[in-house]
Each structure stands twice: as C-alpha cells, then as structure tokens.
Amino acid sequence: MIVDIPATTTAEVGKQLVELRESGGAVTIGRVLTLIVASRDSGKAERAIAAANEASREHPCRVIVLTHGDSSAESSLDAQIRVGGDAGASEVVVLRLNGELANHEHSVVIPFLLPDTPIVAWWPDEAPEIPAKDPLGRLAIRRITDATNAPDTTAAIKSRLSSYNHGDTDLSWSRITYWRGLLATALDQAPHEKVLSATVSGLSEEPALDILAGWLAAKLGIEVHRRTGELRVELQRETTSISITRPQTGKTATLRRTGQPDAEVALARRGTRECLAEELRRLDTDEIYELALNGLSKVSYE
C-alpha cells in the first residue's frame, strides 16, 4: 500500500503511520533498527528503496528516505508512506524536502526515529565529506557510504581514511567479501611462503578493487600494484603463485595455484541489496575495513 501526503507536516505523517498500523496490523515492535537513506535525488531514490526493501527482509526496519525537491520553492514537505508488499518487511517513509527545508534534514527525520532501536545512515550516492560530522551522521551509530556511485570513485575511496570514524563503512568493501575469503583461504594453505608481489587489475573506476588492493597491502605488508585490464588478482610467492581471474560480467572465477588443478568457483558481483544486508548485520566498528583503508597508501597505480 502506498499513501501520498502532499504539502504536509511531520505530525500529520506520524498520525497517518499510526492509523495505517492500527488498520493494517503492522507492529513497530518488530523493527530492529531505523535506516535513514539520504538519496536526495528523487530520480535515484527508487533504486535505494528497492535495495532497502530487500535488505529489510533480513533486518525488519523503518526506512526513512530523504530526497530534495525544488530548491527555489517555498519550504514544504511532501511525504509518502509505503507498507505491506510495497515495503518489504519494513515500513518506508519517503520525505521530499522543498526549499529551505532541504537544509534541515535531521530536524525532519527526528520525529520518525523509532525509540530504543539503533540508527543507521546510508548515502547511496554522493556522501558528505565527513559522514560522522554530518547532522544525519551524528544521529547514527553506523554510517554507510558507496564510493561506487561517486563522480570520482578512486578519489572517493581514498578519502574515506581521512574522514574515517568508528562506525563508518562503504559498500565497495562489502562487494569484495567473497574475494577476500577466497584469497585468505588460498594463502592459508601450504606451502606457507612469503608473498613477494601482488597485483590487482580490473576496471579503473571500480573502488571495490582499490579497497581489495588496500586490504592485501595491509595483510601482506607489501606494495600492491593496481592496474587496468582484465579482472584478476595475482600473488607471486617464492616458488608458487596464486591467481583469481573472472570475466567482468561473469559469475564464475578461475582459481589457479602452482602444483594444483584449476578450480572454478562461484564469484558473481554482489548487488547493492546483498551488500547493504551484510552491513546491517553488524553495528559495531569494522577494524578490518579501517586497516584496508590504511593499506591504500601502499597501493601503486599503473
């Protein structure tokens, strides 16, 4: 069910939420967190809402979506409430802020925050310079960005270290979870030789590969080469090598190790929904993500 409430107030939207719960049987007590989605661009908001709806099936929550309307108009609030099949396992409140009101997002959000539940802020597109110091970021214990959608993806992921605060993460980090697991497993197998060189190649505008290179640099304590070309990670040890290769749009990768038969492994690109759901599973500090950001200083671009 979708209910549009044009030219409204936060009090009226809150009243409508209560009425919908009473008439439809929805219960707030089942919500485990509040997810604030600062999409700002109405045209891109639907993709973020779709991802949040799917992620909410694992993490029932209230989703508050903030978009910006006409900046030259008088201050006003247009709202939309989605429940039932149009909201996954959540209830979605879409708030369109017009005029000067767009500069006071946190004030508009506060009346809709669920009591006694964690608050997570997600910027699916461009993120503030320092998420933890943004008014919305101050409300949240977990702050999620996505360098993949930034105008300059490499600059965006590199800037995450200088702006880092406990509770920050980026969906480009979640996109390489399976890559990291596969590489860690391969490295843990004999022979346990020191890695002498490491190369990560792929699309130049793919921050997930940048952060993967940073993670390898931090884990191995060596310089990692980041190149443009086929999607491939190669580790050269004293007498053996390990490589993972996958077509850019493929779902299966080839794992090659010296002295062992090639192995085909499922390694499809992870979608936003999967990555968001993973990040919502943990609300504590991700020390390994911070370590990978520090490792970016040891990545050389070729």
pLDDT tier, 116 (very low <50, low <70, confident <90, very high otherwise):
confident
**pLDDT value at residue 21:** 77
**pLDDT value at residue 292:** 98
**pLDDT value at residue 30:** 63
User: Kind of pairing, strands 76-82 and 91-98?
Assistant: antiparallel
- Lowest-confidence range among 29-38, 256-265, 271-280? 29-38
pTM of the model: 0.93
**pLDDT value at residue 71:** 84
Residue 152 has pLDDT above 90, yes or no: yes
Contact 183, 216 (CB under 8 A): yes
Please give the average per-residue pLDDT across 211-238, as a whole number.
Answer: 97
Element (H, E) at 162: helix 153-162
Element (H, E) at 55: helix 42-56
* Tens-place pLDDT, residues 67-91: 998 888 899 999 999 987 766 667 8
* Tens-place pLDDT, residues 170-199: 999 999 999 999 999 999 988 889 999 999
Q: What is the largest CA-CA distance in the chain?
A: 70
pLDDT tier, 27 (very low <50, low <70, confident <90, very high otherwise):
very low
pLDDT tier, 49 (very low <50, low <70, confident <90, very high otherwise):
very high
CA quadruple 142, 110, 80, 127: dihedral positive or negative?
A: negative
Report which DSSP code applies to 270.
Answer: P
Q: In what order do the strands lie in the sheet with 263-266?
A: 263-266, 252-257, 241-245, 232-237, 195-202, 224-228, 299-301
Contact 205, 153 (CB under 8 A): yes
Please give the average per-residue pLDDT across 266-284, as a whole number.
Answer: 94
| Average pLDDT over all residues of the chain | 93
Choose between 290 and 283: higher pLDDT: 290
